């Protein structure tokens, strides 16, 4: 491990709360293994103090930071520029601070992280029909990244058809035209013949949560991805997918790869994925 000095570049996670986060273990393990002079810390920032905290990190020459709840949406108005995923989703999870100008650029690496997790699991996306559950920031980021990966069609299912329609409009605005919207409680066992089902709803966060869709949708030939991550537990959706022997991406894989993409943005290099993975698995 490189000793912390006046030359060490500082990275952070900001949220409220942040004490539960696994991100410091993941990033610092990779920095130590590769001899990179970075350190990653957690900073608990109350929503009322968010603007001054962001300005403070720029003033202190942080290299960048991650954002978790409840700040992801608020960061959109506190940075100087946004990538497409952050702009369309209305949520920022990674910021890079230019060391010369102090300019803050906001990114959303969640969708890209899910694409990399699918690649790891051998789940083909090109030309496939995708059923995306939810219409929030994570859903938007996944939709955009999956479109860039070449999916054939996208079905959005959400409790609020109005919100699903709003997301469809945003996606149409960036050239994603083949989108159908559906009410989440109207899904049936056919699941529109989807090849890949992705859950971005909160269902699965708490013990006893219901499945986000009918069991019959998990048929042979479908792959399942769940953005929900509970340390030490598998969601009901992931457990059922494993029981049925279908390809599955659990939330911890998306967590890993969104972190890999964030670290690459900060360092400009290829992160040590194996070390990051071991650090997460040990928690």
- Average pLDDT on 203-222 reads 89
> CA 124 to CA 38: how far, in whole Å?
35
> CA 7 to CA 24: how far, in whole Å?
19
- Equal fold, 9-108+254-281 vs 111-249: yes
> CA 157 to CA 197: how far, in whole Å?
11
pLDDT tops 90 at residue 132: yes
Binding residues: 21-23, 68, 84, 93, 110, 134-138, 227, 229, 251, 258
- Average pLDDT on 183-201 reads 85
> CA 66 to CA 123: how far, in whole Å?
27
pLDDT tops 80 at residue 176: no
pLDDT band with cut points at 50, 70 and 90 for residue 1: low
The percent of residues in the chain predicted with pLDDT above 70, rounded, is 98
The percent of residues in the chain predicted with pLDDT above 90, rounded, is 84
Q: What is the topology classification, in CATH, of domain 111-249?
A: Rossmann fold (3.40.50)
What's the pLDDT tens digit per position in 87-129?
Answer: 999 999 999 999 999 999 999 999 999 999 999 999 999 999 9
Among residues 7, 72, 128, 206, the one annotated as catalytic is: 72
- Average pLDDT on 263-277 reads 97
- List the Cα angle 62/99/144 in 5-degree steps: 80
pLDDT band with cut points at 50, 70 and 90 for residue 174: confident
What's the pLDDT tens digit per position in 23-73?
Answer: 999 999 999 999 999 999 999 999 999 999 999 999 999 999 999 999 999
Residue 52 CB partners (closer than 8 Å, separation 6+) = none
Domain spans of the chain, in order of start: 9-108+254-281, 111-249
Tell me what pLDDT residue 258 has. 97
Active site residue 72: yes
- Class of 9-108+254-281 in CATH: alpha beta
């Amino acid at each position: 491990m490189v000793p912390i000095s006046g030359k060490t570049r500082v990275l952070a996670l900001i949220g409220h709360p942040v004490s539960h986060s696994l991100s410091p273990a993941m990033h610092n393990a990779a920095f130590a293994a590769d001899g990179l002079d970075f350190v990653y810390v957690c900073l608990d920032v109350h929503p009322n103090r968010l603007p001054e905290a962001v300005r403070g990190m720029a003033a202190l020459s942080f290299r960048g930071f991650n954002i978790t709840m409840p700040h992801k949406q608020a960061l959109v108005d506190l940075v100087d520029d946004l990538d497409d995923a952050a702009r369309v989703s209305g949520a920022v999870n990674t910021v890079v601070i230019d060391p010369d100008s102090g300019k803050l650029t906001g990114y959303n690496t969640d969708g890209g992280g899910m694409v990399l997790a699918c690649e790891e699991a051998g789940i083909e996306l090109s030309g496939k029909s995708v059923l995306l559950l939810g219409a929030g920031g994570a859903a938007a980021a996944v939709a955009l990244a999956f479109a860039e990966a070449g999916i054939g069609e996208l079905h959005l299912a959400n409790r609020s058809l109005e919100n699903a329609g709003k997301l469809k409009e945003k996606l149409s605005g960036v050239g994603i035209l083949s989108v159908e919207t559906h009410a989440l409680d109207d899904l049936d066992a056919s699941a529109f013949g989807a090849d890949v089902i992705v859950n971005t709803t909160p269902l699965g966060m708490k013990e006893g949560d219901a499945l986000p869709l009918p069991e019959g949708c998990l048929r042979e030939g479908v792959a399942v991805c769940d953005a929900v991550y509970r340390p030490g537990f598998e969601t009901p959706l992931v457990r059922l997918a494993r029981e049925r022997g279908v390809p599955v991406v659990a939330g911890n894989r998306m967590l890993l790869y969104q972190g890999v993409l964030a670290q690459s943005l900060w360092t400009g290099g290829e992160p040590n994925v194996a070390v990051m993975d071991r650090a997460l698995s040990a928690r």
